[in-house]
Amino acid sequence: MLFRLRLLFASALLITAISASSVTSVGADSNLLRGFDVPATTPFGNNARPSIYWPIGVAFDGQNIWYSEPCDCTSDIFQTSTTGTLLNTLHELKQAGALAWDGSHLWVGIATLAASTCTAGVMGCAVLYEIDVSTGFVLKTVDLSPIFAADQECAFIDGLDYDATTGTFWVSPDIGCAFAFTNDVCSVGFVYNVDSSGNLIKRLQLPFGVAGVNKVGSNLYMVSCKPQGATGRPIIKTTLDGTVISTFYTVGVSVPRESAEDLAFDPVNFAPACALWTVQDYGFPFDASLAAYQIACP
């Protein structure tokens, strides 16, 4: 069902054009600092289907970017320089969704079609993997299924960020997961703050759909649904309790129908400015760009 929902969203994106030159400024936020096509995509072929959906995850490791494209094959996590040079491909996992960097290792939220909804205690429904990128080996597995199941969310981790100040994670399900209990998925969203053992610390229920999430300083940035008439997907800045502070809109980098997903904070490459990277899918044929938007430094 999620696949069909994603196709519906893709069709809507194809219909609505996004102006590649349009930028909406809100304070220090929103300026497009850099954008380029992802240097690699998941393979096509009889034994390796293309992306289940499209590019989703992004993480900044202090120097380079990791991004993901969910696939039943085991070539769906890539590392690129911040100017678009392919550096590495991980082959040990499959169905990789949202990504986060903890300072040493990569964390991967699985984007699986194994079940349409989560069932408490069912391993493999909503799972985080800690990965040693030097080997690709899984170091730790954290099951978030009971947390997702409490809100009837589905088996799809769309937003993930590591909070270095607390050693915890901020996690969001896919926007389409809300179809389990509402016909308007853009009217409600969930973000969870969990520890590295999978225990729930904080639950936010937002009055808007949530895809990607990232904590910067004492604020959260969240990707939400594109409202009618808007020129891109909004990135909403809130307090840690979910109170909205400001909003800016993404823009197309290569084609007009790009749609933002996961987020990653970068205080390095554009110093003294700070940036928020997002992976922006084109929809079909499962390609994407990486875009860095200026945000206020914490």
User: What pLDDT digit, counting tens, does each position of 66-100 carry?
Assistant: 999 887 777 889 999 999 999 999 988 888 899 99
Strand order in the sheet with 219-223: 213-216, 219-223, 234-239, 244-249
Q: Categorize the per-residue pLDDT at 283 as very low, low, confident or very high, splitting at 50, 70 and 90.
A: low
Domain segments of the chain as ranges: 2-295
Give residue-wise pLDDT tens across range 254-264.
Answer: 888 788 999 99
- The DSSP bridge pattern shows strands 274-281 and 288-295 to be antiparallel
Mean pLDDT of 231-235: 86
* Mean pLDDT of the region 207-216: 95
Strands 200-206 and 213-216: unpaired
Give the global pTM: 0.86
- Looking at domain 2-295, does it have CATH number 2.120.10? yes
- Mean per-residue pLDDT, 145-155: 76
Identify the band that residue 34 occupies on the pLDDT scale cut at 50, 70 and 90: very high
pLDDT score for 67: 95
pLDDT band per the 50, 70, 90 thresholds, residue 113: low
- End-to-end Cα spacing for the chain: 40
> Band of the pLDDT at 184, cuts 50, 70, 90?
confident
Task: Write down the mean pLDDT value for the chain.
Answer: 82
Q: What are phi and psi of 61, to 5 degrees?
A: -95, 15
Q: Percent of the chain having pLDDT more than 90?
A: 55
What angle (nearest 5°) sits at the alpha carbon of residue 108, between those of residues 74 and 81?
80
Q: Which region among 121-130, 143-152, 184-193 has the lowest average model confidence (pLDDT)?
A: 121-130
More confident residue, 242 or 185: 242
pLDDT at position 124 over 70:
no
pLDDT at 20: 28
Q: What is the mean pLDDT of the segment spanning 230-251?
A: 93
Q: Which of 60-64, 117-121, 292-296 shows the lowest per-residue confidence on average (mean pLDDT)?
A: 117-121
Strand partners, 215: 220
At residue 47, does pLDDT exceed 80?
no
**What's the length of the chain?**
298
pLDDT for 2: 39
- Amino acid 193: pLDDT: 98
pLDDT of 12 over the 60 cut: no
Q: Which amino acid is at 280?
A: Q
Q: What is the pLDDT of residue 48?
A: 53
* 148 or 85, greater pLDDT: 85
